[in-house]
């Protein structure tokens, strides 16, 4: 989050906090099963047995399990709702349930084998059964359900439904991923976040602000040093995932890495176009490629913001960018290399900012944007995506969304002494992601990265006393709310993600 606010590393408490959350907490083991999502989905009832007898009338009933909430639709159309709680670490695995309007709270066990789920409950709320069976005289219920196959969304379906306007034949040409920014400062939150990223994306974003300038200048970025500085981030990648690595030298001034030595005397006060800065940053990018083996590489993050620093600062950055791009392409001709820009500011300012960015486009292999539409608001927030294509189609380069989210509820914040209110609603999220993902399919984007997956109200409550108010702007943008409950946009994301990749 610091990179979005342009922090310069002066707030030691916030630096330490972000370092703890993003780099030091452990990665979930490969065999970890997230209790919140293990049996998520819609299931068709195969059989129901109670007290040793099979019960007729339930075949074909639908059971939906979604992050702790149940919906059971009987063949006649009656719907029963409730909640459930899992303990995937128990043996057998535990599932306890409630049903709206009923006092009983059945306690049970469950077993997932492929696409078949078995659940056995003690209907009285007494200790759960230990085996998947029933017997005469015992208040035990055994239910067997089969997961419903996911159908590819149909073109032109309702935008408030699942994959709206997916006019690309039931396949997905772009990768989907997250930055793995956690919703709280706990091991459990980081573990849950990274598990969600694994299960809902096929691309992982390593977002790294700041440079270990001393080690880079002296070419001391050995594998052991990179492991110390970046090891935990590398461990976030999962088998088969594409890797998007985003690096940045800073936002106008040289930004030091949180874990490395201070900026060396030789570089202090230097602009980006100084020969030693260019040498050090090129070395850092090369060592980062060797360490992360990325499929996509950004060598600058939201760099159009530097235009606000004046023409000299922008000229210095563009010189650095061109140099690093050209040198890296000699060794990695097939690696897409680029810098990202903020669409919301480019759209609002246009004019000189747009012209300056277009001058840099020959040294970008992708049109890569960060976009937070709530910074524009109104109908223009969707129109900005069309404007993007109108302005950049002429470069004939693929598009990519480097990071994005839309607000799910109004969020107050204060900036430069003025009070603001970010507009937002669940429907606004669905409208935006429907437009974005449909465009990404039809225009064959390279990837779409969502910044956060779950609201970080819990983290914000712990850090807001010593953090800028603007730091909380993004806290209500998750596909899940602060309690981990899915918003409508989650279904949209998941339905697109379930489409097979075809590139």
Checking if the pLDDT of 8 tops 80, the result is no
Share of the chain above pLDDT 90, in %: 55
Checking if the pLDDT of 291 tops 70, the result is yes
Checking if the pLDDT of 386 tops 90, the result is yes
Rounded to whole angstroms, the Cα distance separating 247 from 258 reads 14
Polymer length of the chain? 503
Rounded to whole angstroms, the Cα distance separating 254 from 249 reads 6
CA torsion angle for 279, 283, 289, 291 (degrees, to 10)? -160
Residue 472: closest CA among 431, 424, 426, 429: 424
Rounded to whole angstroms, the Cα distance separating 413 from 469 reads 5
* Among 315-324, 396-405, 415-424, the least confident range: 415-424
111-169: pLDDT as tens digits: 988 778 999 999 887 889 999 999 998 889 899 998 875 443 333 344 333 333 444 45
Rounded to whole angstroms, the Cα distance separating 471 from 481 reads 18
Q: Where are any strands of DSSP class E within 130-230? A: 140-147, 175-178, 203-209
- Looking from the CA of 94 toward its CB, the CA atoms found within 13 Å total 10
> For 165-498, CATH number?
3.20.20.80
3-state secondary structure of 256: strand
- Residue 11: per-residue pLDDT: 37
Round the average pLDDT of the chain to a whole number and report it.
Answer: 84
Residue 338: closest CA among 397, 281, 287, 382: 397
C-alpha pair distances (Å), 54 with each of 135, 146, 227 = 11, 17, 58
Question: What is the rounded average pLDDT of the residues 296-323?
Answer: 93
Q: Are 129 and 146 a contacting pair, CB within 8 Å?
A: no
Give residue limits of the domains in the chain. Answer: 41-147, 165-498
486-502: pLDDT as tens digits: 999 999 999 999 999 88
Q: Answer with the residue of higher pLDDT: 167 or 372.
A: 372
Question: What is the rounded average pLDDT of the residues 224-229?
Answer: 89
- Residue 37: per-residue pLDDT: 56
Beta bridge partners of 414: 419
Rounded to whole angstroms, the Cα distance separating 273 from 320 reads 5
And the tokens for 224? 């052991």
- Residue 16: per-residue pLDDT: 33
Rounded to whole angstroms, the Cα distance separating 383 from 369 reads 15
Q: Where are any strands of DSSP class E within 318-409? A: 337-342, 367-371, 399-404
Give 172's DSSP letter.
Answer: B
Checking if the pLDDT of 326 tops 80, the result is yes
189-222: pLDDT as tens digits: 999 999 999 999 999 999 999 999 999 999 999 9
Rounded to whole angstroms, the Cα distance separating 95 from 75 reads 24
Checking if the pLDDT of 66 tops 90, the result is no
Checking if the pLDDT of 423 tops 60, the result is yes
What fold, for 41-147?
A: Lipocalin (2.40.128)
Fold: same for 41-147 and 165-498: no
CA torsion angle for 351, 352, 355, 358 (degrees, to 10)? -110
- Residue 20: per-residue pLDDT: 30
Rounded to whole angstroms, the Cα distance separating 182 from 434 reads 25
Checking if the pLDDT of 3 tops 80, the result is no
- Residue 103: per-residue pLDDT: 72
Q: Are 262 and 214 a contacting pair, CB within 8 Å?
A: yes
Q: Answer with the residue of higher pLDDT: 355 or 259.
A: 355
Q: How confident is the model at residue 35 (pLDDT cuts 50, 70, 90)?
A: very low
Question: What is the rounded average pLDDT of the residues 421-443?
Answer: 92
C-alpha pair distances (Å), 423 with each of 64, 127, 159, 426, 450 = 31, 48, 20, 11, 18
* Segment of 24-33, 222-231, 384-393 carrying the highest mean pLDDT: 384-393
């Amino acid at each position: 989050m610091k990179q979005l606010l342009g922090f310069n590393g002066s707030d030691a408490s916030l630096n330490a906090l972000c370092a703890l959350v993003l780099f030091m907490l452990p990665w979930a083991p490969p065999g970890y099963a997230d209790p919140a999502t293990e049996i998520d989905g819609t299931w068709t009832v195969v059989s129901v047995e109670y007290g040793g007898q099979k019960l007729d009338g339930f075949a074909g009933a639908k059971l939906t399990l979604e992050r702790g909430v149940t919906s059971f639709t009987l063949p006649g159309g009656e719907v029963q709702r409730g909640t459930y709680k899992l303990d995937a670490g128990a043996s057998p695995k535990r599932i306890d349930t409630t049903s709206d309007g009923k006092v009983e709270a059945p306690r049970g066990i469950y077993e997932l084998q492929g696409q078949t789920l078995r659940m056995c409950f003690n209907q009285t709320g007494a200790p759960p059964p230990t085996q998947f069976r029933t017997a005469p005289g015992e208040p035990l219920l055994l239910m067997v359900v089969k997961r419903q196959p996911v159908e590819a969304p149909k073109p032109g379906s309702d935008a408030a439904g699942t994959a709206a306007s997916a006019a690309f034949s039931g396949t997905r040409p772009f990768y989907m991923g997250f930055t793995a920014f956690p919703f709280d400062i706990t091991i459990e939150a980081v573990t849950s976040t990274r598990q969600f990223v694994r299960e809902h994306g096929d691309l992982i974003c390593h977002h790294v602000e700041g440079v270990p300038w001393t080690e880079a200048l002296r070419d001391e970025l050995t594998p052991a040093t990179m492991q110390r500085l970046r090891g935990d981030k590398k461990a976030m990648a999962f088998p088969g995932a594409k890797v998007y690595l985003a690096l940045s030298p800073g936002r106008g001034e040289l930004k030091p890495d949180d874990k490395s030595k201070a900026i060396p005397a030789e570089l202090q006060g230097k602009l980006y176009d100084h020969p030693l800065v260019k040498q050090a940053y090129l070395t850092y990018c090369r060592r980062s490629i060797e360490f992360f083996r990325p499929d996509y590489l950004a060598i600058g993050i939201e760099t159009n913001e530097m235009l606000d620093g004046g023409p000299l600062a922008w000229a210095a950055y563009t010189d650095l960018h061109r140099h690093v791009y050209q040198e890296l392409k000699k060794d990695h001709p097939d690696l897409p290399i680029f810098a990202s820009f903020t669409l919301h500011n480019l759209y609002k300012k246009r004019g000189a900012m747009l012209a300056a960015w277009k001058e840099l486009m020959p040294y970008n292999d992708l049109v890569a944007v960060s976009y937070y539409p709530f910074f524009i608001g109104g109908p223009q927030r969707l129109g900005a995506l069309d404007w993007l294509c109108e302005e950049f189609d002429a470069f004939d380069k693929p598009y990519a969304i480097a990071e994005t989210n839309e607000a799910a509820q109004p969020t107050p914040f204060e900036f430069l002494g003025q009070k603001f209110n970010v507009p937002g609603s669940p429907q606004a999220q669905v409208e935006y992601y429907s437009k974005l993902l449909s465009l990404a399919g039809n225009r064959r984007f390279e990837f779409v990265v969502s910044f956060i997956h779950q609201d970080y109200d819990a983290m914000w409550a712990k850090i807001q006393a010593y953090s800028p108010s603007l730091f909380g702007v993004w806290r209500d943008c998750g596909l899940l709310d602060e309690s981990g409950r899915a918003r409508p946009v989650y279904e949209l994301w998941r339905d697109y993600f379930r489409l097979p990749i075809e590139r």
